[in-house]
Structure 1
Amino acid sequence: MPSQHPEEVGHGHVVERYVTRMYGGLPRYLVLNSGRFLGPRWWHTTRFTRHLITDAAAINDEELEALLGYEWRSRLTAAWLIGVDRREQFRARIGDLLLTSEACYSGGAYCFALARFGTHADAEILTAYLDRYLPCTDLHYDQAAALGALLRLDALLGTRHADPFTQPDGPWEQWVNALVHLRDHPGYTPSEQRRWTDLHCDFANGWCQP
């Protein structure tokens, strides 16, 4: 489905209000994508987070759809807002976008949202993604974020969906070893990917009501 600018669907305000709002000289989407808000020395974390929580509760479903129908910055931001507020009605839409993988950078935010939802249905979407994309050993998409989210869900749900991917010489190792720039990278272990997902979800848990 071709992307549409939100103006075309009657929501021309959403990019400026939700996506490009500035914090410490950076637009919101870039702060989210970089994880800067997790750093203890970033002075703008409190303001950034309060606005994120407020906007996640205030944005309506039509505005979220307008963002999801546009480009990667808008999709990334929308997925974060959906995940923070746990808008589970967007599960199928998020899953479709993740599995299609037609835009860069936004996939990690989809994985965050699924991890926040925290159900067996979300684990199934992440499993389907890894089944499809881990064998693509020449492509670096969102395999790492998907594995981290799936490992978190396994721990929460008492399941073992990630086991077939993380076994010795299994799909995860084969994927990492096939990509030269990842092969010796300390951040590309299953435990490190789980830790990164936990950081994002625990950050949201710490500010949101259960």
Structure 2
Amino acid sequence: MTDASQHPAEIGYGFVIERYVTRKDSGYPRYRDLKSGRVLRPGWPHAENFTRHLVDDAATITDEELEALLGYEWRSRLTAAWLIGVDRRESFRARIGDLLLASEFCFSGSAYCFALARFGTHADAEILTTYLDHYLPRTDLRYDQPAALGALLRLDAHHADRFTQPDGLWDQWVNALSHLHGDPACTPVERRRWTDLQCDFSNGWFRA
């Protein structure tokens, strides 16, 4: 992973970090709540306030502000991808796909996968398939293979079959990383469940 990035202040958008990334609707920075997944926990006391502001920001943030966030480090990229996914800004499909495939930073890739799952089209499934084709054979490292598989399973289970068949690329990748052996979070069923939870919860924000 590389560290190439540009602070939004360098292009006249220095305000976007505080406004969208580090704002504290729960007492913690937004990016931490998104990364931890606590927003999906039943009974989380800050859910209403947090999600209301997240949905509002997703609807009102400009494309230029999103680009400023996507050009910086992992916290801003993670937050931007969530905002893009929540609002289904499909105009960012190619940009999100490029960032996912580049895998320049840790942590942000799972948010790219969420955004693609929210878009929900065959084009998004193709991006995820390309990612898995490239990174599952890399049994020496862990990037965002679990999130990508979960998103693909939601979008196109048929295309995911060739990865999840017994002794296929998914099993080979998990078996090559000893710390993942027996981890229930790494089963295809659990990866699909987690993506469904993210997307269905996002749908629920709008129904509410």
TM range (shorter): over 0.9
Q: Do the aligned partners of 2:26 and 2:50 also contact (CA within 8 Å) in 1?
A: no
Out of 92, 95, 105, which is 2:94 matched to? Answer: 92
| Displacement of 1:40 | 1.7
How many equivalent pairs are there? 205
| Displacement of 1:2 | 3.0
Q: What is the identity, as a one-letter code, of the residue corresponding to 1:57?
A: A
Residue 41 of structure 2 corresponds to: 39
CA distance in 2, matches of 1:208, 1:132: 35
Q: What is the identity, as a one-letter code, of the residue corresponding to 1:199?
A: L
1:192 is aligned to 2:194: no
Q: How large is the Cα RMSD of the aligned pairs?
A: 1.1
Q: Do the aligned partners of 1:84 and 1:208 also contact (CA within 8 Å) in 2?
A: no
CA distance in 2, matches of 1:40, 1:23: 17
Q: What is the identity, as a one-letter code, of the residue corresponding to 1:17?
A: R
Residue 202 of structure 2 corresponds to: 204
1:179 is aligned to 2:181: no
Instruction: For structure 2, list consecutive stretches of 5 or more residues without a partner in the other structure.
Output: none
CA distance in 1, matches of 2:67, 2:206: 22
Structure 1 stretches of 4+ with a deviation exceeding 3 A read: none
Residue 64 of structure 1 corresponds to: 66
1:74 is aligned to 2:71: no
| Displacement of 1:154 | 1.2
CA distance in 2, matches of 1:70, 1:153: 29
Q: Percent identity?
A: 75
Instruction: For structure 1, list consecutive stretches of 5 or more residues without a partner in the other structure.
Output: none
| Displacement of 1:182 | 0.5
Q: Do the aligned partners of 2:26 and 2:49 also contact (CA within 8 Å) in 1?
A: no
Written as runs of structure 1 = structure 2, the 5 A alignment for 1:32-181 is 32-154=34-156, 160-181=158-179
After alignment, is 30-39 or 1-10 more displaced? 1-10
Residue 12 of structure 2 corresponds to: 10
| Displacement of 1:26 | 1.1
Q: What is the identity, as a one-letter code, of the residue corresponding to 2:170?
A: W
TM-score, normalising length from structure 1? 0.95
